[in-house]
Amino acid sequence: MTLSNLSKANTNRDYRIFEEFAYYMIGQARAKRIQDVFELGGNVYAFDSTTIDLCLSVYEWARFRKAKGGVKIHTLYDLEAQVPAFIHITEASVNDVRAMDEIPYEPGAFYVFDRGYNDFKRLRIISELESFFVVRAKTNLQFKAVRWKRRMPENVLSDSFVRLTGYASEKKYPGLLRRIVFYDKEQNREFTFLTNALTLDALKVALLYKNRWQIELFFKWMKQHLNIQRFWGTTENAVRIQIYSAVTAYCLVAIVHHDLKLECSIHEALQILGMSLMDTTPIRTLLDKSNYKDVKEQTDNSEPLLFYS
């Protein structure tokens, strides 16, 4: 099938077929890869978004600035199974915090957010559902400390219980919060976190946030795959089809990674497979950890290239 014919086909195919299959594969991958890494008694997720830039002259329906187009992929990423759990696609102009309303929250689960998600009305909903959040605090946060923890582990500079004092924030979140200041030696930086997990070890709170890097790796792969020159159609329907196809492929590799008990990471496996689509080498041999360095040296690009020709 030529690219033009594929583009026409993706204009007419209903993206919801691909969406439904992507969620089926997400379920399969999570069921196989589920682990209790953090030992918290509930699932642990990171939530964030990434913007896929689109050429406005070709994708007129995706306008979000005067001369720019794009779509935003809001993702709930399972940090223990290392696969996405929920995908929400919107126009790039949609504010990130609005996508929090679409998250399928679970009682007892933990949700990790970056600084852009300091929306206390929505964070209060998580608490009311008996779930937990860890969010990086903004520098202009207005609060009053109620009490402090005196004995703190190494690199925890402050651990206190606080109440918000800002006019709007106090009304949106009147309950008690925990504010933790953590010093990261590797980056030589201080990070301040807010959480409603009042009894959780402070170092574990920092560890949860540190593991956000997994969703960033997922976004890197998505952007590498969804290069504008490689979209198979120009309609919104076609773009959604390709996004869900990418999620399906990611989950398939995650399942193979689990079933073969590979030593390399999922992202290393994606990179190797992307460079070896026409290779007849058995997949276990191809993905053997001892061969990874040899494969990596063949390319200057360290990103996975699963769908590139």
**Domains of the chain, first to last:** 34-234 (3.90.350.10), 260-296 (no CATH)
SS3 301: coil
The reported pTM is 0.87
> Is 303 or 53 the better-scoring residue by pLDDT?
53
| Residue located via tokens 């170092």 | 203
Q: Which helix (H) or strand (E) holds 285?
A: helix 283-286
Output the pLDDT for position 210: 95
- In the structure encoding, which two tokens stand for residue 251, read together? 């989950």
pLDDT of 285-299, one tens digit each?
777 755 555 544 444
Question: Distances in Å between the alpha carbon of 133 and those of 79, 86, 119, 202, 253?
Answer: 14, 17, 12, 13, 29
Contact 304, 249 (CB under 8 A): no
- In the structure encoding, which two tokens stand for residue 187, read together? 């980056």
SS3 156: strand
Separation between Cα atoms, residue 134 and residue 210, nearest integer Å: 11
> Is 35 or 120 the better-scoring residue by pLDDT?
120
> Which range, of 80-89, 192-201, 276-285, averages the lowest pLDDT?
276-285
Contact 181, 157 (CB under 8 A): yes
Those residues with Cβ within 8 angstroms of residue 217's Cβ, 6 or more apart along the chain or in another chain = 267
- In the structure encoding, which two tokens stand for residue 109, read together? 């689960």
Output the pLDDT for position 242: 87
